[in-house]
Chain A
Amino acid sequence: AQSVTQPDIHITVSEGASLELRCNYSYGATPYLFWYVQSPGQGLQLLLKYFSGDTLVQGIKGFEAEFKRSQSSFNLRKPSVHWSDAAEYFCAWGGGKLIFGQGTELSVKP
């Protein structure tokens, strides 16, 4: 069965530091991959998506992600984290239906 794994349940970074959130997927065909962010009590907001082409994709709020087929990974990065980035981040795979990872909670230290 298809699955999405986010190995880190909780990450804490200092404001201004760089960030990388890991995501691995298991599916052989061309993946449709997404990163969503969820603030407390809120729904999911799409940060970025990958369908094909350039493996480095840019998203909103200064985020980017790199698709690596050889590693079955789609890691999310940001060069300098802001306190407002504290939230839950979900990686998802899919077309008609989305399969989500368990999420990574990001805390930002002042």
Chain B
Amino acid sequence: ETGVTQSPTHLIKTRGQQVTLRCSSQSGHNTVSWYQQALGQGPQFIFQYYREEENGRGNFPPRFSGLQFPNYSSELNVNALELDDSALYLCASSPFAGGGAKNIQYFGAGTRLSVL
């Protein structure tokens, strides 16, 4: 158990809809990163939030957006859903942003999103 919780566990949406995924970070962690894992692939970095500000973004379009709250929990929002957005979305929390020997990312169990 990592202490990182994600909700919901599964979600089914139709193309064009909007979705919000939630993540509670581990106690003491101020950084949350989001990853998309398509079937049969490794996770791909979407973006990271550090102290409520976006702190780096991967190659994802602007319809992927996020928020981080004062308690360091986070949301991932995806607008105008496309079929290719079907994936497992993973949230990871870490003690701080950037690299370093003590900055380990701990992952939640993920939200499985299906877009029909």
A residues near B (Cβ < 8 Å) are 4, 6, 32, 36, 41-46, 49, 51-52, 90, 92, 94-103
Contacts and interface: CB of A to CB of B under 8 A. Distances in A.
A102 B103 contact: no
A103 B56 contact: no
Interface residues of B, number: 31
Nearest to B110: A43
B109 A97 contact: no
Interface string B1-15: 010101000000000
29 contacts: A4-B42, A6-B42, A32-B100, A36-B107, A41-B112, A43-B6, A43-B108, A43-B110, A44-B90, A44-B107, A45-B2, A46-B106, A49-B104, A94-B99, A95-B98, A95-B99, A95-B103, A96-B33, A96-B48, A97-B33, A97-B45, A98-B43, A98-B105, A100-B42, A100-B44, A101-B42, A102-B40, A102-B41, A103-B40
A102 B42 contact: yes
Interface in B50-82: 55-56, 58
B97 interface: yes
Contacts of B2: 43, 45
Contacts of B110: 42-43
Given A43-B90, A97-B33, A103 B100 contact: no
Nearest 3 interchain pairs by C-beta: A95-B99, A100-B42, A43-B107
B42 A103 contact: yes
B107 A32 contact: no
A63 B2 CA distance: 19
A103 B42 CA distance: 6
B48 A97 contact: yes
A42 B43 contact: no
Interface string B24-50: 000000000101000011111100100
A32 B98 CA distance: 11
